[in-house]
Amino acid sequence: MGACGGKPAAKQQESRELRFHDGLHYSPLESNVHRGFLSLGSNELDSPFDFESQLSVDEDTQDIVQFSAPIFVAEEGETFSVKLMRLGSLAGTVSCYFQTEAGSGKPGVRYVHTEGEVVFGDGQFEESIDIQIIDSPDWSATLEFKVVLSNARGCSLGKYLKVCRVKVLDSDPFPNSDYAEPVKAGLDAIKEINPVPLFVDFCRLMLKIPGNSRRFAVILLCDQLKNAYLWFQLKASVYTVNVIFGGEDAADQLIIPGDAVTTAKLLGLMYIGLPLLLHLYKEAKTRMDIAGHCNFYLQTSLMRKYMNFNDDSRAAVSLDAVQKVVTEQALDVSNSLDNVSSMLETLGRLVMLNYFAVSSDPGMLWAVVTMPVVMTFWVLLRHRWLTKPEKDRPYKKRVIQLVCSISEYYSLIAAYFQRPAMNEKFAASVAKLGEVQEPLGIYHMRTEFFFSWLGPFFSGFYLCFYAQQVMDDQLSLGTFLATISVFKEVSSNFADGYSVMMSVISKFEPLTDITLFLNRQTDVRDLKEMVNRRLKETSEQRSRLMQLSMPIPPGKVRTDLLPIRLENVSFKLGMDKELFKNVDIFVEQGKLIAVEGTHGSGKTKLIRILAGGISPTSGVVTMPSHLRCVLVTHNVVLMNTSPLQNLFFGDPLALAQTEDRQRVMSILEKLGMNRTRELAEKEMEILQEPLSDGEEVDADAGHCGTAGKEKTKPTRSPWIPPDDSKRAANVRSALRGWQGTLSFQEKAKLHIARALVVNPEILILEKPLMNFDDKEYRLVQKSLREYVYNRGVALPAESRESRRPRTCFYSAEREDTSQTDVVWKCDGGSVVAEKPPTQVREPRTSGKDLPSPKSSLTQDIQMTAV
């Protein structure tokens, strides 16, 4: 499946010249025509350009085949096209192999596994792969899978974009499409949903988790074994009294004729043996762990949903609420199916007990009817007789919120001598919680006493009025005794049933919270629109570029000429204040751009709009779809992991590559991060220490997850040890508290180095230089320049031209922008491109002259191309 032929679009390029260029290669014919001049429509450049020298250098460069974007968004039920692009000369036929790879989305569930060969014909610069996304009426979190390219023939594969992720957007509401109306009506309508059908639909959804319906059926069936054992016990006790101890009259009913003692022994063995079977079943039930599977599904779905929340949803849900819903409430509702099976088991037992009572003595019909009626009355009317106290939920929430804020702001609390005040505040809120919980406890005790009291009442009544019948031989002693134990059983059964029912009712609140959480808005649809728009624009612009007969500057392919552009962008603050109005500005790739402006002029907002973190009120940000973009925020973030894991956070697998590790050490050196270097070297030493085989195997096994829940691939590389492995434990213990040994400036550098390691095509930084003194400021600035001019920091200058251009935007808090190529000045609602006051020319980094940052050549190409 999936062999893709050439597209008509490519074939349409009839003119021979068009085949030659997506950049580096020029045919003799082409170069003769244009030798010495670049012809760009009506623009003529006055500078001569030496094509021959470019030819000799770039002749051997292979075309690159890669995906047109790092992430695609597909929707349920559609046949989705993943786009690929070819960069380079476009001469000849090239091909590669592709296949889908499971992620959180599984083949056969979310998508149809697809693999095959993708072929780019001569002159063809784009292609697509069709993948069928599977439709389902049930809700599912946004799941994703990968598409991977391999086995390139006649081309090389893009270093990063040989893999793309496909997010599958599910537009069904939680828990199923029946809830579309309240979900559409908003959060208040969701809170009003009747919890009973919601609970039923939730249980149905849980049954659709792979394997759960089978497990549930087995449990339902086997739960009745307990009832069968109880039936056996009742029958056996009647048999013991009436037959085994029944003397001569009952001798013919003995299992072993004439031998009451051996019959009793046999019965005794059955009493012992049957619980053993029940125990084995209980063990099997525990291993089936239906609640564990539900919990796994719920917690991972909640986390996935949270990861895709849009800004509004994120702002509406506090951190402690996220923590509560993912850890506590998900756990609460995950045993709902267990509760349902317990209710059915209780129901089965009640039916069996009542049947036993009536079949042993038809005169017991009154008791069989009266007991459930009394119970039902009590359950329904207890609210009238007992005053329900205030709920403790808001007070519990308050305590949790206080714990979170005290730990978050501890340093501030300590610095401002507020510890006693916070202690008092906390004590007061815990005391209030206790005050509310006391009457709640009394209420529960009063509610539950009735069930334990009902059994003795009926037994006593039965003893009073039915003992005479035994004496008169109208009722056998065995039946009499068994009936008394039936009353006891029925009463405790009601108590069990009631507690299961209360447990189900107690799930309504967390279930409503989960429903609210899982129906909040995400940004996946916006992402889909943005990705599709960029793909379309990039494809159209590339088509137009291919039509132009012009040579391309050294080190570029035509696609590198696509600019980054803000088109008619406006951004409103609230209803009336407009921060930006109709901003129209572009910059070519491969530039260092400082965003400048006075306090409050909108630098940070502009940076976030560029990075896609916030959407403009109107207008669009146009970026070539294949460029990976990373935002470095102004607040310095160090994660609570190891130094190497912090540095390789954006590309964890690179840690296993020797050249990437060397490159990172080189970045640290360039940035003068001596302490981080020492720590990274120490970590590398620990990771390379030999461990016994057993320890590694155990570690890998631990990494595979449990109970057949979603498994992650074990990794054997010592460089990426699983968190629960011996190696990871060694690193943790040797480097505990390493963050505290870094100076503030070094922490700030690490925050930037992490992005330089990823080496995205577009790097966007919020006030990256504000944390440094003059010397460190220059070091960091120099690295940003190297990132742009060398297309990556600490990468070989010789291979610069085989890499795509790097573009860097940063908000400048100082007016020193002399090292930049372009200044974008924010002022009074507009953004204007300016030249920096003084420009420092970049020294040569390769055998050739780098294009001048200010060159009008590329700018003119863009003006023509776009």
Q: Radius of gyration (Cα) for the chain, nearest Å?
A: 36
List of residues 6+ apart from 271 with CB closer than 8 A? 233, 236
Compare residues 546 and 632 and give the one whose CB is closer to ligand ATP: 632
- How far apart are alpha carbons 856 and 26 in whole angstroms? 22
How far apart are CB 636 and ligand ATP at their closest, in Å? 16
SS (H, E, C) 293-347: HHHHHHHHHHHHHHHCECHHHHHHCCHHHHHHHHHHHHHHHHCHHHHHHHHHHHH
182 lies in the binding site for ligand ATP (CB under 6 A): no
CA–CA separation, 63 vs 95, rounded Å? Answer: 11
Strand order in the sheet with 155-157: 126-132, 79-87, 63-67, 155-157
Query: Judged by CB, which is closer to ligand ATP: 604, or 807?
Result: 604
Mark 605-624 with x for binding to ligand ATP (rule: CB under 6 A) and - for no binding: x-------------------
The one among 173, 602, 805, 836 contacting ligand ATP by CB under 6 A: 602
Residue 579 in contact with ligand ATP, rule: CB under 6 A: yes
φ/ψ bin of 638: left (φ > 0), alpha (ψ from -120 to 50), beta (otherwise): beta
Helix axes 212-239 and 260-288, enclosed angle (nearest 10): 160
Q: Which one, of 445, 442, 409, 440, lies nearest residue 425 by Cα?
A: 409
- Distance separating alpha carbons of residues 630 and 651, to the nearest angstrom: 12
* 321/609 with CB nearer ligand ATP: 609
> Which C-beta is closer to ligand ATP: that of 198 or that of 610?
610
Asked if residue 768 binds ligand ATP (CB under 6 A), the reply is no
Q: CA separation (Å) from 521 to 145, 171, 292, 514? A: 22, 11, 27, 14
DSSP one-letter string for 699-729? HHHHHT-STT-SPPPP---TTS--TTSHHHH
What does the per-residue mask of binding to ligand ATP show for 520-559, with x meaning CB under 6 A? Answer: ----------------------------------------
Show the site string, 325-364: x = touches ligand ATP by CB under 6 A, - = not: ----------------------------------------
Residue from the set 258, 415, 575, 599 that interacts with ligand ATP by CB under 6 A: 599
Q: Which stretch binds ligand ATP (CB under 6 A): 153-161, 421-429, 603-611, 798-806?
A: 603-611
Position 764 contacts ligand ATP (CB under 6 A): no
Pick the stretch among 15-23, 362-370, 594-602, 646-654 that binds ligand ATP (CB under 6 A).
Answer: 594-602
DSSP 148-201: EEEEEESEEE-TTTTEEEEEEE--PPSSBGGGHHHHHH-HHHHHTS-HHHHHHH
Residue 576 interacts with ligand ATP (CB under 6 A): yes or no: no
Task: Give 604 or 759: the residue with its C-beta nearer to ligand ATP.
Answer: 604
Burial class for 167, CB neighbours closer than 10 Å (0-12, 13-18, 19+): buried
Measured from the CB atom, the residue of 123 and 597 that comes closer to ligand ATP is: 597
d(CA 854, CA 390): 71
747 touches ligand ATP by CB under 6 A: no
Taking the complex as a whole, the smallest distance from the CB of residue 504 to ligand ATP amounts, in Å, to: 43
The one-letter amino acid at 729:
A
Report, in Å, the least distance between residue 311 CB and ligand ATP. Answer: 10
If one asks whether residue 661 binds ligand ATP (CB under 6 A), the answer comes out as: no
CA distance between the termini of the chain: 37
Cα dihedral 101→104→106→110 (10° resolution): -110
Question: Which one, 533 or 825, has the nearer CB to ligand ATP?
Answer: 825
Minimum Å distance from CB 549 to ligand ATP? 43
Residue closer to ligand ATP, measured from CB, 506 or 598: 598
221 binds ligand ATP (CB under 6 A): no
Size of the site for ligand ATP (CB under 6 A): 11
Looking at 354-362, 593-601, 640-648, 669-677, which segment touches ligand ATP (CB under 6 A)? 593-601
Is the Cβ–Cβ distance between 144 and 300 less than 8 Å? no
Q: Which is nearer to ligand ATP, 538 or 601 (CB)?
A: 601
Q: How far is the CB of 637 from ligand ATP (least distance, A)?
A: 18
Residue 600 binds to ligand ATP (criterion: CB under 6 A): yes
* Binding-site member from 601, 642, 646, 781 for ligand ATP (CB under 6 A): 601
107 bridge partner residues: 111
Binding mask 252-281 for ligand ATP (x = CB under 6 A): ------------------------------
* Only segment of 23-31, 414-422, 558-566, 592-600 that touches ligand ATP (CB under 6 A): 592-600
Please report, as residue ranges, which positions from 556 to 575 form the binding site for ligand ATP (by CB under 6 A): 573-574
Specify the residue for token string 């786009």: 83
Residue 796's contacts (CB-CB under 8 Å, 6 or more residues apart) are none
What's the DSSP call for residue 138? B
Residue 596 Cβ vs ligand ATP, minimum distance, rounded to whole Å: 9
What is the binding site for ligand ATP (CB under 6 A)? 573-574, 579, 597, 599-605
